[in-house]
Chains A and B, each alone.
Chain A
């Protein structure tokens, strides 16, 4: 019985839930607080994962070096991917980010440095003081990252940056008129949000010891957005609730075997019909609408 809660399977689930909380929480910064719909969040996750995998296999770097590198690279990717948000808004931005996500996945599948369709294997395991981490250690690291993400996003939201983002979300023109440099903050939201997702990618790469472009497809992007929306966009704990629910429900539905993804899709449609603002959302959010 204890095994069910503390066994390797439970710890694997805990790890995945925590990674998804990090992804949904960081997307919440961009879409929930920043009001910029992104269907390409998987791109940052991919950038972080590949950065870590390449540095680890080519130069033998450990996780403690690839993590900061992944953070820097995904912050830069955030600036790049956030740049279109200066020109393109609302529904168009949603489609552009979707396109960028597919471009990143397509590059991963076709470039030599990313191993093409074979991906990159033999990424070094995470070690602390010369001892390789077990399931407990990985789960603890992932939970730590998720907690840090939620905490920092909360702090950002309460800061000048967060206030500026809220102002831009509610009325970009009015924000600009009151002296908020909307361009800077929009890109900053993408860069900060992307950084957390990149860190999650690095952690995942070392945990799985393998990355391939299959993990970074449209479905992955969809589920990140779904977690943020189902939990409640622009709420503090929405990403946590959404990520826990949408990670565990498909697991619990494993007995339905091949109908699992059908039921997952059905759940998304029904959820949107019954709770369009998400489980924790109270006020209407003007995200992209």
Chain B
């Protein structure tokens, strides 16, 4: 059991990345009731675009990151305007197919643009290792954990203390009621797609740093697992989503360490099914109002 704290640290780090991705999904589902599977593609673009800016165009890390986040936010906004807004009143299965179409499009375009191979990611943060007793923590892990937590706190603050944030929360609670109160759902949709996609892009950058490589296929399973966090946490519950994201990170680290690395994803998805059998609305979810 000596290695347990180590696995916990590793698990929480990956959990932070899931959380960054899951926030956008939680908001898009909460406000618009869409299963935005293509979110994983934005995360992948975050990794690939920042890689290209730094390696091909030799930009320093900070401007490269800023440009990447802007590009990802832009892609999210285009998704919303082009593929989701025209389907605002359509059944969820129609937006789902549309979202899957987006995922196929973007992933395969990326495979053409960058080739299917894994690319080594520029390590612009020099690695430092700290030993806390028997646990080894790297500065990258601390960065991912701290950045994840800070952004989450900031996001919660914005949701509760700004006009847009309060309007978003109102729309998450009851989209129809919010619209009746004069809240502009279209404007909120653009904001949450921009912010959520920016966070997904950031998760892609951090993943590149943390795992030292990026590839055009990195988004699919990762995006689906972030969706598992949203569902297990309770669709529409932002706190539940974050909790579930960290739990999934921990579960995966422990499964990989003590059961089998190959079965890691199987166990994550099996957990999803089990949790929903016991609590059909997720851990912290309430029954979703159907508009």
- Spell out A's residues near B (CB within 8 Å): 31, 37, 39, 83-84, 87-92, 94-96, 98-100, 102-103, 106-107, 109-110, 218-219, 222, 225-226, 229-230, 233, 258-259, 261-262, 264-269, 271-273, 276, 284-289
**Beta-carbon contact of B94 and A84 below 8 Å:** no
A sample of 14 inter-chain contacts (CB < 8 A) reads A92-B276, A92-B280, A94-B35, A102-B265, A103-B270, A106-B265, A265-B106, A268-B97, A268-B98, A269-B102, A269-B105, A272-B95, A287-B91, A289-B92
Q: Flag whether B263 is at the interface (Cβ < 8 A).
A: yes
**Beta-carbon contact of B86 and A87 below 8 Å:** no
**Beta-carbon contact of A103 and B269 below 8 Å:** yes
**Beta-carbon contact of B92 and A96 below 8 Å:** no
Q: Flag whether B266 is at the interface (Cβ < 8 A).
A: yes
Which 6 pairs show the lowest CB-CB distances between chains A and B?
A: A268-B101, A289-B91, A265-B104, A265-B105, A106-B266, A99-B269
Q: Flag whether B49 is at the interface (Cβ < 8 A).
A: no
A269's closest neighbor in chain B, by CB?
B101
**B215 → chain A closest CB, angstroms:** 16
Tell me how many residues of B have a C-beta within 8 Å of chain A.
49
**Beta-carbon contact of B104 and A225 below 8 Å:** no
**Beta-carbon contact of A226 and B266 below 8 Å:** no
CA distance A259 to B92 in the complex (A): 28
CA distance A229 to B228 in the complex (A): 24
User: Would A99 and B228 be within 8 Å (CB), given that A91-B33, A268-B97, A272-B98 are in contact?
Assistant: yes
Residues of chain B within 8 A of A84, CB atoms compared: 273, 276-277
**Beta-carbon contact of A258 and B111 below 8 Å:** yes
**Beta-carbon contact of A110 and B266 below 8 Å:** yes
Interface residues of B in 263-282 (CB under 8 A from A): 263, 265-266, 269-270, 272-273, 276-277, 280-281
Q: Digit string of B81-108 for contact with A (CB within 8 Å is 1, else 0)? A: 0110011001111111110111111111
Known: A222-B97, A268-B104, A289-B91. 4 other contacts (CB 8 A): A92-B231, A92-B276, A262-B112, A265-B108
Q: Flag whether B44 is at the interface (Cβ < 8 A).
A: no
**Beta-carbon contact of B101 and A265 below 8 Å:** yes
**B41 → chain A closest CB, angstroms:** 10
Q: Flag whether B288 is at the interface (Cβ < 8 A).
A: yes
**Could you say which of B95, B272, B280 contacts A87, with CB atoms under 8 Å apart?**
B280
Residues of chain B within 8 A of A285, CB atoms compared: 91
**B154 → chain A closest CB, angstroms:** 28
Residues of chain A within 8 A of B100, CB atoms compared: 222, 225-226, 265, 268
**Beta-carbon contact of B273 and A96 below 8 Å:** yes
Residues of chain A within 8 A of B106, CB atoms compared: 265
Residues of chain B within 8 A of A287, CB atoms compared: 91-93
Residues of chain B within 8 A of A272, CB atoms compared: 83, 87, 90, 94-95, 97-98, 101
Residues of chain A within 8 A of B288, CB atoms compared: 91
Interface residues of B in 104-153 (CB under 8 A from A): 104-109, 111-112
Residues of chain A within 8 A of B111, CB atoms compared: 258
CA distance A99 to B228 in the complex (A): 8
